[in-house]
Structures are given as C-alpha cells and as structure tokens.
Structure 1
Amino acid sequence: FYIFRSIDEDRKIKYRAAVKIQSWFRGCKVRAYLRHLNEMVILIQKWWRGYRCRKHFRKMLETAYFIMKMNFYNEMAVRIQKRWRGYYVRKYIHNYYALKKYLQAVSVNNAFVRGELQEYVEMKENEEKMKDLEKKEKEKKYQARKMHYLLSTEQIAGIYNSPFRKSPDPMELLLRNSKPLSHRRKQVKSPFAYELYDWPTCKKPPAFVAALPLPPIGRQKPQGPFRDTAEVLWQRYKPLEPTLRVAESINSPLEKAREGIKREEWRNPIHDNEFLPFSSYHKNESEKYEPSLCKSGKYVREAYGTKHFREVYPKKWIADK
C-alpha cells in the first residue's frame, strides 16, 4: 500500500512539473509570436504612413505649383490690361491732341461770345443812359414849366439870371423856351345827373349809375407781422369752449343725487299705500296717527317748521276759512 501511495504521489509531482513546463513553453512561444506580429504591424504601418505622406506631399506640391502659376498669370494679365487700357484711353477717350484742339476751339468760341456779350452790355448801358437822360430832360422840362414864375422879366432879373454872371444860367434859357403849366379844371357834377336823360321824349334809355365792383383780394400774404389766413379762420370759427362755471349745472351734485334717490324711491316701491301703525286705523278714517315728537325715531322727519302746535276750535270761527 505504501509503495503504491508513493508512486501515485510521485506521478502527481511529475504531472504538475510537466504542466508547468508546458505552460512556460507555450507562454514563451505565444509571446514570441506576438512580438513577431507587433514588429510586422509596425513595419506595415510605417510603409503605409510613408506612402500616404508622400502622396499628400505630392498633392500639396501640385497645389502650390498651381497657385504660383495662377498668381504669375494674374500678375501678367494685370500688366497687359494696364498697358492696353492706357493705350486705349490715350487714343480714343482722353486723346491729348483732340483735347488740345477742343480747348483751342472753346477758347476761340469763348472770345467770340465774350465780344458779343460786351457789345450787348454796352448797347444796354447806352440805352439805359439814353432813358435816364430823357427822363432827366422830361423832369427838367416839367420843373421848368412848374417854376415858370421864376422867369426874369425886363424890369426884374430872375434868380437864374444873376447880373454878376457873364451869361445866364441854362435853367433861365429852359424857362424861356417852356410854357407854364395849365391849371386843371375841377369836374363839376351837373344837378341833373341823377335825373333821367331826355325824359319827355325818351329817345335814349335811362343810364343808371351802378357801383363798380370791388377788386379781388389778392391771395398773396400782405407785408407785415400778420398771421396766416387759415390760422385766423380756424381761430374765428373754432368750437365754443365754455368755462367751468358756464359748463357746470346750477344744481350741485349733492342735490342731483338726492333727486335721483327720490325718483328711485318713488319708482321702486311695491305698493303706494302708507304704512298703517294700528289695525284699527280704518275705524277712524278722519284722524291719522301722528307720532309724538319725543317718541319719534331719529330716522323720522321732525315736524319743526312745517306744523303749528296749537289748539284749533273750528266751531268758534266767525266765518269758514
């Protein structure tokens, strides 16, 4: 029994040792394989990344080269357009020689127009001078006719014919050649102006003197500190704005409220019969119950000033009242 037991224990020990050796061997093998796979993956990634970077770099290089060519093309196009536009503008739009000829023609035309205008101005000035001279001559003639009484006579020399002068004043000569002003005759109304013309024969229709119509009022604003017509008319025809005293009623609001309450009380009662204090009131219809002054409540109207508290004896009256 002991022999078999020792053999079995030895077998278990060897089995555990074999399992441990196999686990270590398999672990080394798997780790070596994983290291190999990791190295291969790194190698593949390195080649793939290199390929992608070289492709991206070529693309960037092509883009940069295209941009450089476009910039160069645009710059050259701008230079060509600048040269061409300068040539076109100088030849067809702002031609120096054509502009020079145009300015020469403008200067010649300007000189001609200025000469014509100068002649026109001189002609107008001469006309104005002639008009002024004529006006002054007329004024002098009018003054000479008006002051004809200052003309010198054979006996007395006038104020314009001084004896201390060698020759008389030109005004003296003008007074000699002019005639005095004639007096205006006043228009005398005929006493028969309001009578009918040729009344017995009636050969002509009667002429009734009608009043002349007034001239129309100009719509132009008169000179001075006057307001606008529309504003004046609005102020004249604006609606009445009564004061508080005129707009307020004669009766006070308290009296109006009392009258309204009275009308409500008169309209709203259920019956119009007066309150009868006793059941035997119908027996004495001639006499009404009048509560005493002391026993009447504060809400009952007192009889002071409305009734006379004295005894009345109708039988002792001499005559009916």
Structure 2
Amino acid sequence: MADLLKFKQRVEELKSEYYNRNRQAEVNRKEETQAAIRIQSWFRACRVRTCIRYLNKKAIIIQKAWRGFAARARVRQMVKAAYFTMKMNFYNDMAVRIQKTWRGFYYRKYIHYFYARKRYLQQILMKNELVRKELDEIEKEQTREKEYLEATIEQKTKAYQAYRLHHLISTKQVPGVFNSPYRQAPHEMELLLRQVRYQVPISMAHRDTGCLRGLCDSRGLSFSGSPESQSTISTETWDLRTRLPSIATKKGKAKITQTVHNR
C-alpha cells in the first residue's frame, strides 16, 4: 500500500521524465535513423560484395573450364587440318614426280625427237636465208625503181626548165646567162638548152584587130615535158609586139623600121 502511495506521489515526476525522454528521443531519432541506415547499407554492401566475389570465383572456374575445352578442341581441329594438308602436299609431290617422269619419257620417246627437230631447225634457217635474199633483192629493185623515177622526174623538171628558159641560150654574138666567159666549161643548163629543141608557139585567134598583120597576132605558147604530167601546159597568151624579129636579114630590119614607125 505504501509503495502505491509513493508511486502516486511520483506520477507527475514520471510524466515529466517520460515527456523529456520522448522529446530527447525525437530529437535524436534522425541521427539514430541515419546511423542505422549507414550500418545497414554497409552490412548489405559487405554481404553483396561477398556474394559477388563468390559468384566471380565460380564464374572464373566455369569460364576456365569452358575455354580450356574449346581451346583443346580447336587445337585438335588445327592438328587434323595440318596433318591433312601435310598428307595432301606429300601426295601432290609424289603425283608431280610420277607425272614429270612419265611425261618426260613420253615426250622424249614419241614427241620430241632430237634429230628430227634438228633437221627441222636447219630447214627453217635455210628458208629464212632464202626469204632474206628475196627480200634484199626486192628492196634493191624497189630502190632502183625509186632512183629511176626520181631521175626521170628530175630530168623532166630540167627539160621543162629548159623549155621555159630556151630564150637564154647562147648565140655566136652574145653568150647566154649560163655560158659565162669566165667559166672553163659551159654550165649544165647551157648544155641542156643546146640539146632541147625549141617548139614553135601554137597560133591562136586574133585578139587585137588594130595591130599590124603578121606582127600583132596573139599566140599561145605550149611546152611539153612538165614534171607533174606528160600533158600539155596551159597556153600562155603573149603579144608579138613585144618580140623583136631577127636582125640577120634586111627584111627583118625593114620590119623593125616599119613597126617603130607605126608606133
């Protein structure tokens, strides 16, 4: 009974103390919660790390076993391939040797007969020599023909020039342009002018009716021996009034006097 009275007397104290403790607990609740969270996170992290470490070890063991198995299988396959390649190379070498021996024997016996090939080559050399001689003769013949054509053309050209320059031939009174008195021998053109025969101009229609009869006739001059062709050159019209008659006779002198008088 006494304890109950004492307890009733301390009710107020207990209430105040309970209030203070609850207030203090509420003040420290956040810090304690943060501390508990940290402890829990650390513990959970340790547990997760331990689990992950364990799983990593087991994964490494599994990977090691698988990789070893795969590598051994790959090596066995490589060994088989290398062995097969070696056998095939060996068989190919043996086949090449057999084929080489057989082909050499067959070629020497049935295809390549040395003395027949030697005779064949000698015949080819002889034929080549004959062909070369024929080609040389053809070339010489073509060269001679070319030289003959060039000489012919040159001769025709000189003859044509001689026809055109026939008025420059030397006379007894006056030496020509190509027969200089200071030369020991006449010029080649002078000799050609002496050999070429002068052609009389072809008469053409009268073009000037006011000229004297027989002196002012328009005439064309044609020459043969053109270097381009053998045809006659186009006629050149010229006036006989520019030509002087020969002075070797008295009739010529009379014609000259009459012509001058008429002009």
Normalising by the smaller structure, the TM-score range is 0.3 to 0.5
Higher-helix-fraction structure: 2
Q: TM-score, normalised by structure 2?
A: 0.40
Q: TM-score, normalised by structure 1?
A: 0.33
Greater relative contact order (Cα 8 A, min sep 6): structure 1 or 2?
A: 2
